[in-house]
Structure 1
């Protein structure tokens, strides 16, 4: 006899997964920024003309940390969900978008390829939307946890474009 897991069983499973997924996603994201020297401290970035919509530099670390935590929880919801024909592909697309995300900082801050970074972030937006579409087929909560991330990278794409235009 097979039984469907109760809501409390699933929530416990989500928390167990989150203890693994949240730190992994946060570490990947923060390591990318650290390794590429991202932020306003570098001489190259400090000398760029900043767009008028550029927020205070301290906000980036706060926002990205929150977004990585939300992404880690979204991943936990998917991993804790019952078997689903879309689950494997959803996990693959999530991993690919996380890799693409992690490579944006080295492209922009490390290699100083502002124009290429803009096209890279457009690819990231498409991958995040694909991730959300697959997550929605598995867990509505997981998909909703990705909404702030999508909104922020859309804003980041506009910022990236303005940096490219001004510099």
Structure 2
């Protein structure tokens, strides 16, 4: 029973952060985002919610796997880096959509990408599957970085 509650908590943390940052996203999409220039490879708006929900769920699963692993310095570092990347993930939506600042968001997403890479490295050291589950996340953020840069360039 205790493991089930921890698993639910590990899922709830990134999903809740995603939900909160979704507020900034919806606010921006309904206002300025619909009127700015976007590159031809910009996905339709409906694709973002299911992709991000899946990625946040994968974060939660990886967090649970790492949390359940024996205590070590690598586990401690992995959990700290997880928190940092989740905070940067949260901030990006506000910078880009709420504050309407693709340039500042572009700078920030570079730090987010680097923190995801570090998280994957530490997760793999703790439990390889936890790190491998984050590969779709870094791929998506790589694409989002390119998209962010293109939007910044076009506007």
TM-score range, shorter chain: over 0.9
CA contact (8 A) 1:39 1:57 kept: no
Equivalent residues in 2 for 1:52-131, closer than 5 Å: 52-131=40-119
More helix by share: 2
Q: Which runs of 5+ in 1 are unaligned?
A: 1-11
Q: Give, in whole Å, the separation in 2 of the partners of 1:39 and 1:48.
A: 15
Q: Which runs of 5+ in 2 are unaligned?
A: none
Q: Which residue does the alignment assign to 1:163?
A: 151
Q: Give, in whole Å, the separation in 1 of the partners of 2:51 and 2:27.
A: 13
Please list the CA deviations of residues 29-68 of structure 1 after superposition, one character each: whole Å capped at 9, or x if unmatched: 121121x144774220110111111111100000000000
SS at structure 2 position matched to 1:155: helix
Q: Give, in whole Å, the separation in 2 of the partners of 1:37 and 1:94.
A: 22
The equivalent position to 1:27 in structure 2, one of 16, 21, 24, is 16
Question: Structure 2 vs 1, CA of residues 14 and 146 (structure 1 numbering), >3 Å: closer, same or farther?
Answer: farther
The equivalent position to 1:45 in structure 2, one of 14, 19, 33, is 33
Asked which structure has the greater CA Rg, the reply is 1
CA contact (8 A) 1:86 1:138 kept: yes
Q: Give, in whole Å, the separation in 1 of the partners of 2:2 and 2:65.
A: 8
